[in-house]
Structure 1
Amino acid sequence: MNTLHDTHRPQIRLAREAVLEAAWICTNLACAGSEPAAAVLAAAPALILHLDCAHGDEVAEQCAWALGNIAGEGREACEVLFANGATLPLGRLLMRAAKEHSAYAAHAAICAAWALSNLLFSCPPEAGRLLGLQGFPKGLVAILRGHNSAELTLEVAWLLALISAGPEAHMHAMVKHGAAAAVAGALVSAVDSQEAEDVLDPLLRSAGNMASSAAAAAILGVPHATSVISRIQQHELYREEASWVLANLEAACR
């Protein structure tokens, strides 16, 4: 039994390293221009297959990164990824990796959220698949509420902004699971932290998108939340977005 185990271990390690190197190649080719990215589409099924972490979080992270680069090429590339079922494995990777505490898991969660944002940017209705994934809406809100890295919070905030900008039913589903309160809390934290300004843009977009929901407007329109948004409005970079959010909240509360 021991001899068999020792014999197979180098083969398993070699297979993992080969997959990792291949994923790196796909990642680099997918951001090298339209023609190389189109060629990498043939590898999409394999990249999606390895999101399940069978070879570890490092491989899953690299595959998600490659898929995100492919998705960044536009609608046609995204349609190929949709046809190969990329959305749900990326959603599962995000939910799973965000709960772990290793560096590779953290990076895998960031890449998964970013890749999903690239997919939804080309096809917002695809968010319906994600919201149908058991525990995903609640899990996304939990990540936004949690004490995560600034990078993960930023990518999840952008993902929420894209989901809430799509079909109204998707926005209402996120509100139902506490997204408005999570966004309000994240805005307060971001304002109090000088290192978190990048996240203000997607948080404001999420807040403005959700303002059409009476339930969300009731949360975001409370004096404490609006005072924070008013403070952000004084920042020249975010003045337009913050003004839009306040105008939407005012209209919702009439």
Structure 2
Amino acid sequence: TSTVSPQMLAHLLAARGAISRHRCFAQMILYFTLGAVETLLLAVMSTDRFLAICWPLRYPALMTPRVCSSLVLACWAASLLALPGLFAWMLSLPFCGPRVLNHFFCDSSPLLELICADTRLLQLVAFLVAVCTLLIATLITALSYGCILSTILRLPAAGGRSKAFSTCSSHILVVSLTYGSCIIMYLNPTQTGRLGLNKGIAFFNTTVSPLLNPFIYCLRNQLVHTVCRDLLLRGRELSSKLFRA
């Protein structure tokens, strides 16, 4: 979000959508690097919830600050090892197109359209990297929540099941939005020719979804529940007074 939205807002305010070659490439590199890190971190968060719900007594010993730091560094290391080769390969190809990006940021699909060379092998390798990243993250998340669901269903009290479900609800929603949009955008061997669909999904993924995240993560906050309830009650009282008047 921080690599796309500021530049997009600057273009809208200036009514001029030009961007230099180096800034465009830097935006693409940062976008995919940070996106890969976020995808892997969401999978790590699912394992954290798995340990907290399935092994609550052993959780403090298993999820220590050192383990947390190691998992975060592993996400960064995996992203920084997998992607630079693809970036170097892509940027070494000749760009001789009309120099007009059919997108609101420097995504891989519009840049591939501007390359005047055979990019089929590059697109295939990029597809395999995306498959490995998303498949690993999705499998970790699915296995974690499968174990969580099995544990929750064995809880004897309905209150315990409700509390466990509420702990995971916000994360499940964010994971669904992020993984779903990335799968639609990048799990396709041929990246070119799908710009219309990708632009809509990319706008949702980079702008709309982050705006929803604060509301999603506040759904479990009791203070937020109380404030929303008070606002609804005040709105109902105000509407009834206006109706009487």
TM-score (norm 2): 0.26
* Structure with the higher helix share, 1 or 2: 1
TM-score (norm 1): 0.25
Which protein has the larger Cα radius of gyration, Structure 1 or Structure 2? 2
